[in-house]
Amino acid sequence: MNKQLSNTSEPPIPVPKVWWIWLVAVSVVGSIGGIGLALGSVFFTPALDAIYGFVFGPGAVTTVLLADRILFNVTVAIGGGLQAGASAIIGFVSYHALRFGKRWAWNACVVGLTLWLLLDTGLTTWYLLNGYPGLWPKIVNDLGFVAMFGIPYAALHRYCTQ
């Protein structure tokens, strides 16, 4: 005998549009920002020079080897590419799954955000506490991203985990 779903079960609570639209919008902005960061890393020399000065102290720009500057630009480009790709994935998952309250999508997004926060922000904090005080803006930036994504995930919890 095949068991079928009973019609007496309650229908899922509809997911409010504001949360998945918020995630899609933030994801589009994150993708555009990541693309700009990846493609513009070579063209933002003045901004990168300011970062060098802020992180490593005054005069660091003149003491950094060209090979180190290129490596930094490549690292920024990789980070921008990762940001663009991750943001695009979150946007598609939000539009195609979170808006329907899919538990797997919520779990994947929350686990991904948590891993990123623990690794990226955790290691940055470790370096900050070990003598690189110029890294605090990156931690503030990371926490801003956590808020932009974490607030809707917290709000979607009840809709995606029932």
Task: Write the pLDDT tens digit of every residue in 64-120.
Answer: 777 877 887 888 889 889 999 999 999 999 999 999 999 999 999 999 999 999 999
Q: Token pair of 131, please?
A: 């003598």
Which residue carries 């990541």 as its tokens? 34
Whether 75 is covered by a domain: the verdict is: yes
Q: Is 3 exposed, middle or buried (0-12, 13-18, 19+ CB in 10 A)?
A: exposed
Cβ atoms within 10 Å of 107's Cβ, excluding its own: 12
pTM greater than 0.75 (yes/no): yes
Domain count within the chain: 1
Does residue 38 belong to any structural domain of this protein? yes
pLDDT attached to residue 8: 53
- Residue 130: phi, psi to the nearest 5? -110, 30
Comparing 57 with 101, the larger pLDDT belongs to 101
Provide the residue range defining the domain that includes 141: 17-160
Residues in the chain: 162
Model confidence at 11: pLDDT above 70: no
Is residue 1 scored above 50 in pLDDT?
Answer: no
Percent helix / strand / coil, the chain, rounded to 5: 80, 0, 20
* b/e map 59-68, b = 16+ CB within 10 Å: eebeebeeee
Q: Is residue 8 part of a domain?
A: no
Quote the pLDDT of residue 10: 64
pLDDT higher than 60, residue 4: no
When mean pLDDT is compared across 39-53, 85-99, 138-152, the lowest value belongs to 39-53
Q: How many whole angstroms separate alpha carbon 17 and alpha carbon 152?
A: 11
pLDDT at 155: 95
pLDDT score, position 51: 73
Residue 129: what pLDDT? 94
Residue 6 domain-assigned (yes or no): no
Please tell me the distance from the alpha carbon of residue 159 to that of residue 42, in angstroms, as a whole number: 43
